[in-house]
Amino acid sequence: MIKTYYKKLISEKIRNRIHDLIRKIKGLFLRGNQFYCNCCSHSFRKFLPKGNGIELRNNAICPHCGSLERTRLLYFYLCNETKIFNSQPFVLHIAPEQTLKNKFKTNPNYYDVDINPQLATYQVDITKTSFGDNTFDFIICSHVLGHIKNEKQAINELYRILKKDGKLFTLTLINVQSEHTFEDQNIETETKKTQSYGEKDLERLHGRDFIKRLASPQVDVQQIDYRLHFSADDNLKYSLGNGNREIIYVSTKI
């Protein structure tokens, strides 16, 4: 009942700010040097846990900026392997991670979007956008497609608005033990989705065939496990995950 009234009385944007403040206060008691966040340049003796009744990931969340394992790894990749921070390319950032969003503050051609207007500057349904053909040099779509009912329509729309030679960076939750993506339209409740897919608002749990679901005559798709560019010690220091959420799929428009 308390949670219900809390959500009714306080907007989602304000609730997120409160959560951020609480997280940072917790970080004051976690000072140390065992873990380091490349997104905000803060170090801690440990990161905060993340998870639910299905899975609990220790040392997942940076207490200062809120980055997750996949965020830190993607930021490493974008800095080291792309020109996304050079000059002022047109960038579309879907369901933006705040710590990454901050990196684009000086780029006037950066668009952060979400279906929820509380979570981004622009409200956009990525299955049907108002952007013109061949608009963006880069699109970041991290842990979004698994939440969208019409996934194929969203993928086609992203390819439509991507420039020739432009790159789409996609990440998602992968069941590395399964060759095939699992989805069942009869699974509707949050409880059943959590049990079946691992998260309460997922529409499917991707398998190793995810790269095939991204396939199109318009693009060349590469699957990159960027964790392999780091030593075991650095993987631990930056907490770069176990590969279930951190594989980067790079679609380059032909």
Token digits for 39?
Answer: 């997104």
The predicted-structure confidence for 162-198, as pLDDT tens digits, reads as follows: 999 999 999 999 999 999 999 999 999 999 999 999 9
Q: For 105-121, what is the mean pLDDT?
A: 96
Q: Return the SS3 of 92.
A: strand
In-domain check, residue 50: no
User: How many structural domains is the chain composed of?
Assistant: 1
Strand partners, 114: 123
Range of the domain at 218: 68-253
Q: What are the backbone dihedrals phi and psi of residue 106, each rounded to the nearest 5 degrees, phi first? A: -90, 0
pLDDT at 3 exceeding the cut of 70: no
pLDDT at 71 exceeding the cut of 90: yes
Question: Contacts from 241-244 at CB under 8 Å and sequence distance 24+?
Answer: 241/57, 241/69, 241/70, 241/73, 243/174, 243/176, 244/173, 244/174, 244/175, 244/176
In-domain check, residue 89: yes
Query: How confident is the prediction for the chain on average, in pLDDT?
Result: 95
Token digits for 223?
Answer: 């699957």
pLDDT at 2 exceeding the cut of 80: no
| pLDDT at residue 252, rounded to an integer | 98
Q: For 125-140, what is the mean pLDDT?
A: 98
CA dihedral 157, 158, 164, 166 (to 10 degrees): 180
Q: Poorest-confidence range of 2-16, 101-115, 130-144, 213-227?
A: 2-16
Task: Report residue 1's pLDDT band, with 50, 70 and 90 as the boundaries.
Answer: low
In-domain check, residue 117: yes
Sheet of 248-253, strand order: 122-123, 110-114, 91-94, 136-142, 162-171, 248-253, 219-224
The predicted-structure confidence for 32-68, as pLDDT tens digits, reads as follows: 999 999 999 999 999 999 988 788 999 999 999 999 9
In-domain check, residue 83: yes
pTM of the model: 0.94
Residue listed under structure tokens 């951190």:
246
Largest CA distance in the chain: 53
| pLDDT at residue 54, rounded to an integer | 81
In-domain check, residue 52: no
Helices (H), the chain: 2-9, 12-28, 69-81, 98-101, 151-161, 190-197, 210-213, 232-238
Token digits for 132?
Answer: 């013109």
| pLDDT at residue 5, rounded to an integer | 65
Q: CATH number, domain at 151?
A: 3.40.50.150
Q: For 78-88, what is the mean pLDDT?
A: 96
Token digits for 195?
Answer: 């049990």
In-domain check, residue 114: yes
pLDDT at 99 exceeding the cut of 80: yes
Residue listed under structure tokens 């409160």:
18
